Structure 1
Amino acid sequence: MSGYKIYNQQQAHFITYSVVDWIDVFVRPMYKDTVVESLRYCQDSKGLRIHGWCLMTNHIHLIISAQEGTNLSDILRDMKRHTGKTILGDMQKNNKESRRKWMLWMFRQAGRRNRNNEIFQFWQHNNRPIEITTNKFFNQKMNYIHYNPVKEGFCHKPIDYPYSSARWYYEKKGLIEVDELLI
């Protein structure tokens, strides 16, 4: 869909992007860690502000914005490119990855369907950004992303799932430091 676009680069947005064909890649710590490291790098070096996040097995939910003078669309593009290439490279080298041949075949097929790709496509192109303009919408989306792992049976309480910002909001601890948002 072409109707999803980030117009105000500094405004907070709820964004979800998914692995092509909803392939469950993020069941291995090394692939999850690549995403976490990339989020941290974008915070430290590219002006990304993370207000909420949750990494699931085949997609990530984010509530993010960009610092003044930076471009959220560019940050997302670079982050998706980097994580996709890194994970695909790790997957190609990892002989212990039980689904390696199948996943690489799927990513190659997705790449062939898209003339903008060289060989593979890892992420779906659409981020579905939705601008956050009210506290009600912010709270609704934050609850949605924090309860996503509970709904999927990964944990009993949002605070118990390490790959989200829930623990930050409870204890000010977590894999990623969160920039708390007040609308």
Structure 2
Amino acid sequence: MPVRKAIPEKDGAYFITFTCSNWLPLFKICNAYDAVYNWFNHLKQKSHYIIGYVIMPSHVHAVIAFSNTGKSINTIISNGKRFIAYDLINRLRKQNSHLILSELSSGLNKTEIKEGKLHSVFETSFDWKECRTEKFIQQKLDYIHFNPCKAKLVELPEQYEHSSAKYYYAGNQGIYPVTSFMELRDIDLTALHT
């Protein structure tokens, strides 16, 4: 899954966004928010840190601190998207969502079809921004936490269930526990974790 521009580093804090194909609300349709949480669990097992997130019906925003595991961050994110995509397709099949599955198949290009790909679940690229300062991390967290408010899903950020806003605005961990970005000061992300 290509990215517009490859992330040159193997560690660091990054603001990441990936979107369902055609902005379809697949996480809502499949009630598959837990698929992202499962990916977060995998990341934590590999010594990465989830700093903040929001899982919208059609896309994911996250601030993730990646430890150096020897793998490129692009590969880590691409593998995560693939892992989540398989889960979404399985759920759509169980729901007999033939129209959506057909739409996801019709978005494939000739190369993807030749490679045996059956569905295009996510946009092929993802967006990223390196978070070099605590101020920038805070800006990105505010942006993602207010996303559900802008979409008129809730009035206050901490009311949205699939977000870390509850932690940052009310002091209570939500569905998925996150690591405060302030704790990154004491974490050496550059040390190799295998």
Interval containing the TM-score (normalised by the shorter chain) = 0.7 to 0.9
The Cα of 1:123 is off from its aligned counterpart by 1.0
Query: What's the RMSD between the two structures over aligned residues?
Result: 2.0
**Distance verdict in 2 for CA 1:50–1:117, change over 3 Å:** farther
Q: How does 1:166-181 map to 2 (within 5 A)?
A: 166-169=165-168, 170-181=170-181
CA distance in structure 1 between the aligned counterparts of 2:95 and 2:4, rounded to whole angstroms: 38
Match of 2:128 in 1: 129
With 66-75 and 4-13 compared, the bigger mean Cα shift is at 66-75
Structure 1's 29 and 104: CA in aligned 2 closer, same or farther, altered over 3 A? Answer: closer
Distance (whole Å) between structure 1 residues aligned to residue 152 and residue 140 of structure 2: 19
Distance in 2 (CA, whole Å) between partners of 1:24 and 1:113 is 25
Shift of residue 156, structure 1, vs aligned partner: 1.3
2:106 aligned with 1:106: no
Correspondences of 1:134-173 after superposition (within 5 Å):
134-169=133-168, 170-173=170-173
- Distance, in Å, in 1 between the alignment partners of 2:111 and 2:124 is 10
Asked if structure 2 preserves the Cα contact closer than 8 Å seen for 1:9 and 1:65, the reply is: no
What amino acid maps onto 2:21 in structure 1? V
Runs of 5+ unmatched residues, structure 2 = 186-194
Taking structure 2 as the reference length, the TM-score comes to 0.82
Q: CA deviation at 1:56?
A: 0.6
Could you tell which deviates more after superposition, 51-60 or 115-124? 115-124
In the alignment, which residue of structure 1 is the partner of 2:75?
A: 74
**Percent identity at matched positions?**
24
Instruction: Indicate the SS of the match to 1:111.
Output: coil
Q: Compared with structure 1, are the counterparts of its residues 20 and 29 closer, same or farther at alpha carbon in structure 2 (3 Å cutoff)?
A: closer
Structure 1 residue 84, shift from structure 2 partner: 0.1
Whether the aligned pair in 1 keeps the contact of 2:12 and 2:65 (CA below 8 Å) is yes
Q: 2: CA distance between counterparts of 1:2 and 1:92?
A: 28
Query: What SS does structure 1 have at the residue aligned with 2:60?
Result: strand
Instruction: Give the CA deviation at 1:114.
Output: 4.9
Number of aligned pairs?
178
Per the normalisation by structure 1, the TM-score is 0.87
Structure 1 segment 37-56 matched on structure 2, within 5 A:
37-43=38-44, 45-56=45-56
Indicate yes or no: 2:57 matched with 1:57.
yes
Provide the residue aligned with 2:16 in structure 1: 15
Distance 1:113 1:140, change over 3 A: farther
Deviation of 1:34 (Å): 1.6
